[in-house]
Amino acid sequence: MLCCANCFGDVGLRDILPSLSSEKGKCDYCGSEDMSLVKPIDLFDLFSAVTNIYEEADDGLGLVQWFRDDWAMFQNPQMDDFRAKDLLAAILDDAEALRKKYRPSDRFKSNRLERWEQLTKELRSRNRYFPEVEIDFARLGELLDFLRAPDFTDTWFRARINSSDSPFAIENMGAPPVGVASHGRANPPGIPYLYIGSSPETSIAEIRPHTGETATVAEFEIAAKDLALIDLRAPKQLISPFSLGDEDKIGALRGDIDFLERLGNELTRPVRPQAAAIEYVPSQYLCEFIKRSGWDGVLYSSSVSDGVNLALFDPSKASPKDVAIWRVEKVTVVVSAGG
């Protein structure tokens, strides 16, 4: 039986497998058509470097579950637990290993997530500009390199609620002037970033309109190929342990996975408007470091829609193209009981 990159859903294997393949066709495991196919055993060295960062433990989890949880692998709907276990057993040439339980090795533990949590509390309530809690900025810079955004669209949108029947002029649809910008998820007060959404609907949802209001939506164009953006939407889907090769590097990266996920949540989690000035401070701190590290902006998931947002540090790198009026027909509220 032969497998393919779609079985795993890993960005690294997507690049590696074609070089190991000698034929193309339908995958025996996930059923994908016209794929570069390989014998599972040919992936032994790649996978053993990853499995070696886990050790046997009676109260642990199976290897397939760790691959799902830590590296977002086997997300293909066709790769249920039975198929995933069968494939991993063939790769490792060890069916017995798939019956055992494991946990991550203690030698790869990281305190970066704990330190970040301590820092965010301090930034919100005790020290804003000279915090006592220190984080490893050198390591954070290395981790950000794993999150370089892949291909993304050139076309984005920004919305403003209309105060009259006339739309805003195109020249008034950019970022606020220096000194006027209020606090945002990414920008400190007074420092303007351009917030743009992946669709008109996303950009309108972000300004939290009321039913019956109209909004001016401006289309912006960016030179995507010339921009270096950090993608904080789903860190695990951008990171491949197989691109590292070295067991110690893989283990160290695994120790920082939860930290990277937490950074993504900083920009996505819902925040009450009346608490935004305080709650946005950690994400502003993070984005200022990202900007200082030479990146052009940050992609993050919208907390009020299914779309994607882009915080562009230099608003001049987006060109306004056109405006249109949109009417808000209905605003939906989803609630749940409890605090």
- Copy the structure tokens of residue 337: 């009981």
Segment 59-68, tens digit of pLDDT? 999 999 999 9
Alpha-carbon Rg for the chain, nearest whole angstrom, is: 23
The pLDDT, as a whole number, for residue 164 is: 87
pLDDT surpassing 60 at residue 339: no
Q: Evaluate if residue 181 carries a pLDDT over 60.
A: yes
Quick: pLDDT tens for 78-103: 999 999 999 999 999 999 999 999 99
pLDDT category of residue 246 using cuts at 50, 70 and 90? confident
> What mean pLDDT is reported for the chain?
93
What's at 134, amino acid-wise?
E
Whether the pLDDT of residue 250 is over 80: the answer is: yes
Give CA angle at 320 (318, 325), nearest 5°.
135
Q: Please name the amino acid found at residue 229.
A: L
Q: Which structure tokens are listed for 330?
A: 């209905």
pLDDT exceeds 70 at position 338: no
Does the pLDDT value for residue 333 go beyond 80? no
pTM: 0.89
Of 277, 280, 303, the closest CA to residue 120 belongs to 280
Q: Say if residues 189 and 181 touch (Cβ distance below 8 Å).
A: yes
